[in-house]
Amino acid sequence: MENGLIEAAKSYIEELFKGNSGGHDAAHSLRVFRNAALIAGSEKDCDITVVYLAALLHDADDHKLFNTENNENARGFLESHGVCGETEERIVNAINSVSFSKNRGRKPDTIEGMIVQDADRLDAIGAVGIARTFAYGGEHGRSLEASIGHFYEKLLLLKDEMNTDRAKELADSRHAFMVDYLKEYFAETGE
């Protein structure tokens, strides 16, 4: 695989997410990339180029941030770096299988999609997940109680929705940390 391409994708997302903070920024995409690399290390039959690029670009057309159609940003980056045809379609397909709301209950149909979806979900739980939840809540004027509710509506469900064995392992300790955190939160608030 071409390292230059991965570095170019990192620079591209740094630029693209400039000015965003909290949940969806370049740092999130870099963590998802890191998680995806960890998981991919345990999956021998995956296309690592597709995994890496889909992980880095998975939020490049997030509808909460960008008003693009048909993965315009991701496709623009890929095509301008000579990634076209079948590889481009496989990357876009993996990206489109990541969204939680769009894919509730549906598994991605490729191993690359499964890995990137797991990698994104891992970043929503554990210590990072807690930090992102309150950052997002603050941005949207939510009370702490409302953010705590988000753990029960979504975050505590994610451990059992992981596709790959490696992600299940990684999710276990992150999940346990959130459970401990909530215990402490309710002990302190007396709720």
Stretch binding Ni ion (CB under 5 A), from 33-41, 114-122, 139-147, 173-181: 114-122
Q: Whose Cβ is closer to Ni ion: residue 47's or residue 61's? A: 61
Residue 84's region, left for phi above 0, alpha for psi from -120 to 50, else beta, is beta
In the numeric block, which tokens belong to residue 93?
């397909």
Site for Ni ion in 52-111 (CB under 5 A): 59
User: Could you say whether residue 120 binds Ni ion (CB under 5 A)?
Assistant: yes
Q: Minimum Å distance from CB 67 to Ni ion?
A: 18
Distance CA 18, CA 133 (A): 20
CA–CA distances in Å: residue 159 to residues 20, 35, 39: 27, 15, 15
Containing 93, the helix (H) or strand (E) segment is helix 85-96
Q: Whose Cβ is closer to Ni ion: residue 65's or residue 185's? A: 65
Q: Whose Cβ is closer to Ni ion: residue 118's or residue 120's? A: 120
Q: Minimum Å distance from CB 85 to Ni ion?
A: 26
Q: Whose Cβ is closer to Ni ion: residue 112's or residue 120's? A: 120
Q: What are the φ/ψ torsions at residue 77 (nearest 5 degrees)?
A: -60, -50
Distance CA 50, CA 113 (A): 9
State the number of binding residues for Ni ion (CB under 5 A). Answer: 2
Stretch binding Ni ion (CB under 5 A), from 104-112, 118-126, 140-148, 153-161: 118-126
Interacting residues with Ni ion (CB under 5 A): 59, 120
